[in-house]
Amino acid sequence: MADSARPGKLKPASQVELCELYTQEELAQSGWSYDQQVGFPGQYPFTRGIQPTMYRGRLWTMRQYAGMGDAEESNRRYKYLLAHGTMGLSVALDLPTQIGYDSDDPMSLGEVGKVGVAIDSIEDMDRLFAGIDLEKISTSMTINATAIILLALYVAVAKRKGADLRTLSGTVQNDVLKEYIARGTYIYSPQHSMRIVTDIFAFANEHLPEWNPISISGYHMREAGCTAVQEVAFTLGNGIAYVEAALNAGLHVDDFAPRLSFFFNAHNNFLEEVAKFRAARRMWARMMRERFQAQNPRSWMLRFHTQTAGSTLTAQQPEVNIVRTAIQALASVLGGTQSLHTNAYDEALAIPTEEAARIALRTQQIIAYESGAAQTIDPFAGSYAIETLTDQIETRANDYLEKIESLGGMIKAVESGFVQQEIQNAAYEVQQRIDRCDAILVGVNRFTIEDEKPIPIQRVDEALERKQVERVRTLRAGRNPDQWRIAMRRLKDAASGGDNLVPVVIEAVERNCTVGEISNQLREVFGEHRETVII
């Protein structure tokens, strides 16, 4: 075992090795040119950031991801976070909501409100945002297969409140490709899922100009075990697939591309993470301008949200996770993120307590107001180490993208199992290194302690599930059955034909159709996707 006083040669899982010393010679070997590769903030290819002033003009949006139990319980947490300085809400939905089951469905038993808030109907969504001005707050919803329904519910509630839809700001994740790759909460086939994605693009372009209709997510692939290079390549590969699908649906690139957003992970390898964000930004700018011939400079900008890495949090010595999160958050800021969520130290054990959530938010506030990190734009620009790493990540990510193109594009690469296998191989290699102690996890395979003192954890009241089940059944009993049947028939007709689904789903939720009922109607038309097992 190596001397604990010396870290040894750092070899990240992406195989981009760090030199002990970087010089101009290292940069020259990769053909690096300051004028060509880096340039200035706010200028193509945006290596140094998408805005000329970056955080000197405006700080990143400080979000905290939250949702638990029922709508009232989550509403209380949202108001708590807003009172402590959160700038935007990120809504966590429970598993039944994510995969299109109502809370009283037998498939939902034991899962209602456990990993997020249970939302079955417009009444739940109304309670979730009670007392919150939707015109003044930015809302991000982590939802994919049922994204169209949750967006419809949000729009319907905003209309109830008398809000101007054109002022609504936020994001619906709506990234189904990464569900087939890494998470598994898909419902329909890729073909039908992509139709829903592009319908949301078209509706948002016309009615929700400040809304991001997708968050193309590398985060979950990184959580599944991919490397930094793979995260960039597979995320941008998914982005290419969505752009192509939108173009094939008849949309013009400059009509939807300015509202595309991305979602990345921030891991522990500080320098590599900073370089990763810079490389991704540069690569996307080139793709949009050169490959897709976008003319609007906003179409070239990779705008992204970052979340610190949940997979790096440990149940052992959980307080140490505060340090991990701070390092990851600082890498996000120095990499130029537009929005940030910091994980709570107790998330390896349970949904965060209020204290843990507050400390996570305070981490961002200290970086913003005390560290000085926001006082200058892209402070690592010109660093031999950062510029070399940025170039290497770009080169290796492009190699992956070329391979994906040779397989017929991202959807074909996913259907063939190539992407999943690459992630599995990377995850296996990392776990082997941890097991051999070649990679140190503080408190897990080194620097452990015995008889750790347990910490208080958040528990979801079991009675909330019964209460939520009663609510959805009461809603069904009290609604107008004729209006319900009309809405469901229109939904089936639209799904079977070519009409945009979003207005029809909005009508359905306004007539008290539930999340599960709408999902089941679409299941009848589209069928359900079953993963192909490749041996």
Q: Which residues contact 206 (CB under 8 A, 6 or more apart)?
A: none
pLDDT of res. 23: 63
**Percentage helix, strand, coil for the chain under 3-state DSSP, each rounded to 5:** 50, 10, 40
Opening angle at CA 416, ends 410 and 420, nearest 5: 75
Pairing of strands 88-92, 339-341: unpaired
Q: Which of 107-111, 454-458, 519-523, 524-528 is predicted with the least confidence, judged by mean pLDDT?
A: 454-458
Q: Which residues pair with 304 in a beta bridge?
A: 262
Q: Is the pLDDT of residue 290 over 80?
A: yes
* Mean pLDDT along residues 133-150: 96
**How far is residue 65's CA from residue 241's CA, in Å, rounded to a whole number?**
27
Annotate 423-445 with three-state secondary structure.
HHHHHHHHHHHHHCCCCCCECCC
* Mean pLDDT along residues 55-70: 91
pLDDT of res. 8: 41
Q: Is the pLDDT of residue 11 over 90?
A: no
Q: Is the dihedral of CA 490, 512, 144, 413 positive or negative?
A: negative
pLDDT of res. 462: 85
Q: Is the dihedral of CA 221, 224, 226, 227 positive or negative?
A: positive
For the chain, what is the mean pLDDT? 93
Contact 348, 313 (CB under 8 A): yes
Question: How far are the Cα atoms of 235, 253, 370 from residue 228, in angstroms, in the given order?
Answer: 11, 28, 29
* Mean pLDDT along residues 228-251: 98
**How far is residue 227's CA from residue 397's CA, in Å, rounded to a whole number?**
10
* Mean pLDDT along residues 412-441: 95
Question: How far are the Cα atoms of 127, 346, 487 from residue 513, in angstroms, in the given order?
Answer: 17, 37, 8
Cα–Cα nearest to 199, from 141, 149, 142: 149
Cα–Cα nearest to 173, from 219, 137, 130: 219
Q: Which residues contact 314 (CB under 8 A, 6 or more apart)?
A: 320, 321, 348, 441, 443, 444
Q: Is the pLDDT of residue 151 over 50?
A: yes
**How far is residue 532's CA from residue 22's CA, in Å, rounded to a whole number?**
46
pLDDT of 472-498, one tens digit each? Answer: 999 999 999 999 999 999 999 999 999
| C-alpha of 265 from chain center | 8
**With pLDDT > 70 as the criterion, what percentage of the chain qualifies?**
92
DSSP secondary-structure letter at 311? G
Pairing of strands 214-217, 61-66: unpaired
Q: Is the pLDDT of residue 193 over 80?
A: yes
* Mean pLDDT along residues 411-419: 95
Q: Which residues contact 253 (CB under 8 A, 6 or more apart)?
A: 243, 246, 247, 288, 292, 293, 294, 299
**How far is residue 216's CA from residue 174's CA, in Å, rounded to a whole number?**
8
Report H helices in 94-227: 95-98, 122-128, 147-160, 177-178, 190-207, 219-223
pLDDT of res. 3: 39
**With pLDDT > 90 as the criterion, what percentage of the chain qualifies?**
86
Read off the pLDDT band of 461 (50, 70, 90).
Answer: confident
Contact 458, 350 (CB under 8 A): yes
pTM: 0.92
Q: Which residues contact 183 (CB under 8 A, 6 or more apart)?
A: 144, 220, 224
Find the helix or strand (DSSP H, E) in which 89 lies: strand 88-92
* The listed CATH number (3.10.620.30, 3.20.20.240, 3.90.1150.10, 3.40.390.10) that belongs to domain 1-46+196-447: 3.20.20.240
pLDDT of 26-60, one tens digit each? Answer: 566 656 555 455 788 999 999 999 999 999 999 99
Q: Count CB neighbours of 425 within 10 A.
A: 14
Longest dimension (CA), the chain: 75
pLDDT of res. 460: 81
Domain ranges of the chain: 1-46+196-447, 67-172+455-535
DSSP secondary-structure letter at 125? H
* Mean pLDDT along residues 174-189: 96
Find the helix or strand (DSSP H, E) in which 307 lies: strand 304-308
**How far is residue 513's CA from residue 505's CA, in Å, rounded to a whole number?**
9
Q: Count CB neighbours of 500 within 10 A.
A: 17
**How far is residue 313's CA from residue 307's CA, in Å, rounded to a whole number?**
13
Read off the pLDDT band of 331 (50, 70, 90).
Answer: very high
Q: Is the pLDDT of residue 6 over 60?
A: no
> How many CA atoms lie less than 13 Å away from 508 in the CB half-sphere?
31
Question: First and final CA of the chain: distance in angstroms?
Answer: 37
Helix (H, G, I), strand (E, B) or coil at 174: coil
